[in-house]
Amino acid sequence: MHSHLIPGIDDGSPTMETSIEMIREFVAMGYKKIITTPHVMSDYYKNTPEIILGGLKQVKEELIKHNISIEIEAAAEYNLDDGLETLIDNKQILTFGDNYVLFELPFMQEPRNFQEIVFKFQTNGYKPILAHPERYSFWHKNFEKFEELKAKGILLQLNLMSLTGHYNLDTKKIAEKMVDANLIDLVGTDCHRMDHLNIIKSFADTKYFNMLANNPILQNNRL
């Protein structure tokens, strides 16, 4: 429920050929459904629902041509920047499942308007999912923050690659601690490139991957 597979609109797949190659690999790995989520950033990736859904339509058409059978939907990964509040006010938010919306934070520090944006999401009927909270190093020494987020109705989505040490060892330790504490609501590949899938495949039978399989996380077939 978190990937970057629509070609040429963010830092994910650069071409349709690459998108098809990655989706073919998802199928080979046993995935039945993908919810791909291109970046939306007001100053960089100015993707609109029309751009994203238009790209999704092209990907679906190409999958049919290649006889690749997988369910694929699209939403977005919204950056909490100066433009997000306007998108909420103008109802330009792409959701999936039961009005879920995926959003991410800047990596340097917690935004001052973080709580206000969450409240605005919720009062507008959206169910906010925070992307890869384990990657925000400004919370690494304040583990109670993750429990606080959950208490405020924010769902937490873990990147599978965080458990592999791909980002750094501190992120890996926090990811493992969050799994141990049953704080994870959803998992995602955050796949941008084929090597991301190769990394995930190589860790598929490790301890924390197996623990997640037995945790009460939301599955795509229920989204």
CATH number of the domain within which 190 lies = 3.20.20.140
Q: What would the mean pLDDT of 4-11 be, rounded to a whole number? A: 98
Instruction: Please report the pLDDT score of residue 143 as a whole number.
Output: 96
- Is residue 73 in some structural domain? yes
* pLDDT at position 213: 80
pLDDT at 62 over 80: yes
pLDDT tens figures, 143-155? 999 999 999 999 9
Q: How far apart are CA 20 and CA 117, in angstroms?
A: 35
6, part of any domain:
no
Lowest mean pLDDT among 84-88, 108-112, 171-175: 108-112
**In this model, does residue 175 exceed pLDDT 90?**
yes
* 47 in a structural domain: yes
The lowest-confidence range among 124-133, 167-176, 187-196, 206-215 is 206-215
Residue 78, pLDDT score: 98
Asked, for residue 11, whether it belongs to a domain, the answer is no
Contact (Cβ atoms closer than 8 angstroms) between residue 102 and residue 76? yes
* pLDDT score of 219: 59
The percent of residues in the chain predicted with pLDDT above 70, rounded, is 96
**64 located within any domain:** yes
Residue 66 resides in a domain: yes
Q: Is residue 9 included in any domain, yes or no?
A: no
CA distances from 69 to 24, 56, 190 (A): 9, 15, 21
Strands (E), 64-126: 71-74, 77-79, 100-104
The domain of 98 spans 16-222
Tokens for 197? Answer: 């899938």
Mean pLDDT within 97-111? 95
Q: Check whether 221 has a pLDDT greater than 60.
A: no
Whether 136 is in a domain gets the answer yes
Name the pLDDT band for 86 (thresholds 50, 70, 90): very high
Question: How many structural domains are present in the chain?
Answer: 1
